[in-house]
Structure 1
Amino acid sequence: MTNVCNLDCSFCHKTARAKKLISSDEFDALLHKIEGRAKYLFFHLMGEPTLHPLLPRFIEAARAKGFLPVITTNGSLLAEKSDALIAAHPYKTSVSLHAPEANAAFSDEGYLDTCVGFAKAAAAHGCIVALRLWNLGSGADNSQILDRLHAAFPDEWRDIRGGASHRLAERIFLEWGERFDWPDPALSPCDPDADRFCYGLRDQIGILVDGTVVPCCLDADANLALGNLFDAELDEILASPRAKAIYDGFTCRRAVEDLCRKCGYAKRFSRGN
């Protein structure tokens, strides 16, 4: 729904595409075209969703169409946006607590307290909240964040640094993840025969703010554009030769697109990892 962000995270690939916030009519048109095609609707592919003034309305519209809306945010605007966000009742909100570490200009001392306060308030209203530290393997020091989380959620605290997810309280979780290299056409060529697998076009697709359909949530620049949902139906786009080649390639554990061969995230699903 937007590719605009208010931060400049060092780990983010960013996008060279024209900046845009989707309109209400455009969102409704896209929602109509994907109704009944998925269980979860993630309001994030590139950009900070809480920047969009219509985010609460979009969440409510998605729920009305039968989706479970999921938000991913850097948390920097929660102090002013949390009440409206919680009232819209997203199914899940993921907060990237590693965002300040990757922004030299980020100096909000109350950031973590705001995120913890949001997590507790949202959970009390039935929303699942994931507090993310997706910076393992980057040399990051998470000790200060973990100490403050321990103080905020002492009852079920376990001093485990790593793994997938740990429960902090009812509906509140700490999620760990390793930093990975975004797919980038500028990276060096990779072995075309290397074992590769991805859930793109299998468990997910991405829809950019201009309606472009891409195979996965990491193709923020539409390098693998499959079609545009404003101009075509989803079935037509997914039946295109390029989409079928990507899907069939991963079925055989082979990346047919050069960009997919250069994706650090896809390497997680390679045999032996």
Structure 2
Amino acid sequence: MKKFKRCYIEVTNICNLNCSFCPPNTRDKGYMSVENFKYILNKIDKYTSYLYFHVKGEPLLHPEIGRLLDISEENNFKVNITTNGSNISQVKALLLTKPAIRQISFSLQSIETYSDNQEKEEYLKEVLGFVKTAIEQTNITIELRLWNLETCILKDNPNTYILKIIEEELNLPSIMKDITTNNKGIKISDRIYLSQSETFQWPDINIEPINTVGFCYGLRNQIGILVDGTVIPCCLDSEGVINLGNIFETTMDEIVESKRVKDIVEGFSNRQVIEPLCQRCGFRTRFDIE
């Protein structure tokens, strides 16, 4: 079995939206070249079989997204894409022909960036139109994310408007009753999943630590690579604060076997949060033991 269940590859850190839940990154903006992408796949082949086009940026903006998916298939990788869905109509036909795609996760909370109800409805219908076609014509699994709740106690669901459109467009029976008592993902149709959850705090090295006790899957079953080749523990180190090395300068073997990586993993095994950035990560607290 390969070490990592997922490897996050930031094919671009450029995004076309400015969502409140996603802090802007301060790194130089760019797209990963096809050549660099090929190089990375060659270096991580023995470590994972699953790629996640996600850290910062909107992956479907990449001008060579089709080629990246083809290269992934040629090298026997399965791809998971996280997208805001804003340009799905432009890439719909292309995505439907790419067997490398295992799953597409739509961050529907991005709807907040649309100014009026007509724009919001058009956005949702474009995304859901793709969902229907993808289910009919491909083997792609769909995740609809609404990670915008203030609390997991859903007495007054702020997403009622969105959920009603999902019901109508996908011709589903009422799904409200299934999601008003918890924030866990539920299956709403064949290969379509709905995930509601609380808004989380991105790690920020400049804030006060949340705690120093806890657990995380970073470097245990996942690893990330930023657009410039910087290797990071997970998809939330969006500034590359925990720089484990650069894949264009260091081998993956050297990175994975480094003392810093081993210390991080051992720390989490003992419920000790070693890295200062990890101590300031709100998402990590989802794995805390009550």
TM-score (norm 1): 0.93
1:152 aligns with 2:169: yes
Going from structure 1 to structure 2, the CA distance change for 1:152 and 1:196 (only over 3 Å counts) comes to same
Are 2:269 and 1:270 equivalent residues in the alignment? no
Partner AA of 2:140 in structure 1: C
| Counterpart selection for 2:53 from 43, 50, 59 | 43
Change (3 A) 1:178 1:227: same
Match of 2:103 in 1: 92
What is the aligned partner in structure 2 of residue 131 from structure 1? 144
Equivalent residue in structure 1 for 2:266, among 226, 240, 248: 248
SS of 2:81's partner is strand
Task: State which of 79, 87, 98 in structure 2 corresponds to 1:77.
Answer: 87
More divergent stretch after superposition (223-232 vs 29-38): 29-38
Write the distance in 1 (CA, Å) between the matches of 2:110 and 2:221: 27
* Pick aligned residue for 1:66 from 73, 76, 92: 76
Q: Which residue of 2 aligns with 1:8?
A: 18
Q: How many Å apart are 1:152 and its aligned residue?
A: 2.1
Deviation at 1:63, TM superposition (A): 2.0
Aligned to 2:248: 230
Counterpart-to-counterpart distance in 2, 1:58 and 1:270: 36
Q: 1:56 aligns with which of 50, 61, 66?
A: 66
Is 1:156–1:169's contact at 8 Å kept on the other side of the alignment? no
Counterpart-to-counterpart distance in 2, 1:156 and 1:242: 50
Deviation at 1:191, TM superposition (A): 4.1
* Moved segments of 4+, more than 6 Å: none
Identity of aligned residues (%): 39
Provide the residue aligned with 2:187 in structure 1: 167
Segment drifting more, 243-252 vs 139-148: 139-148
Question: Match of 2:126?
Answer: 114
Counterpart code for 2:130: F
Residue identity in the other structure for 1:34: I
| Counterpart contact for 1:57–1:88, Cα < 8 Å | no
Q: Secondary structure at the match of 2:147?
A: strand
Report the CA distance between 1:36 and its aligned residue. 3.0
What is the distance in 1 between the residues matched to 2:200 and 2:227?
Answer: 24
Residue type at the aligned position of 1:99? S
Task: For residue 269 of structure 1, report the CA deviation from its aligned partner.
Answer: 1.0
Aligned-partner Cα distance in 2 for 1:29–1:265: 31
C-alpha separation between the residues in 2 aligned to 1:55 and 1:30? 15
Q: Secondary structure at the match of 1:121?
A: helix
Q: How far apart are the structure 1 equivalents of 2:158 and 2:210?
A: 32
Question: Contact between 2:210 and 2:281, CA under 8 Å: does it hold in 1?
Answer: no
Match of 1:184 among 200, 204, 208: 204
1:258 corresponds to 2:270: no
The residue matched to 1:21 in structure 2 has which SS? coil
Measure the CA separation in 1 of the matches of 2:210 and 2:105. Answer: 32
Aligned equivalents of 1:79 and 1:186: distance in 2? 39
Quick one: structure 1 residues 267 and 85, their matched pair in 2 at CA, closer, same or farther if it must change by over 3 Å?
same
Instruction: Work out the CA distance in 2 between the residues paired with 1:111 and 1:105.
Output: 11
Following TM superposition, by how much is the alpha carbon of 1:135 offset from its aligned partner in structure 2, in angstroms? 1.1
Counterpart residue type for residue 34 of structure 2? S
Displacement, 1:158? 2.6
The answer to whether the 8 A contact 2:114-2:120 is kept is no
1:57–1:19: structure 2 CA closer, same or farther, 3 Å change rule?
Answer: same
2:28 matches 1:18: yes
Cα shift readout 1:54-107 (whole Å, capped 9, x = no counterpart): 112111211221211000000000011111122123111001111022x26584
Task: Give me the whole-angstrom Cα distance separating, in 2, the residues matched to 1:269 and 1:183.
Answer: 15
User: CA separation in 1, counterparts of 2:54 and 2:225?
Assistant: 9
Letter in 2 for 1:171: R
Distance 1:39 1:92 in 2: 14
Q: Any unmatched runs of 5+ in structure 2?
A: 1-10
CA 1:205–1:114 in structure 2 vs 1: closer, same or farther (change >3 Å)? same
CA change 1:242–1:105 in 2 (3 A) is farther
Q: Which has the higher contact order (CA 8 A, sep 6+)?
A: 2
Indicate the larger mover: 157-166 or 235-244: 157-166
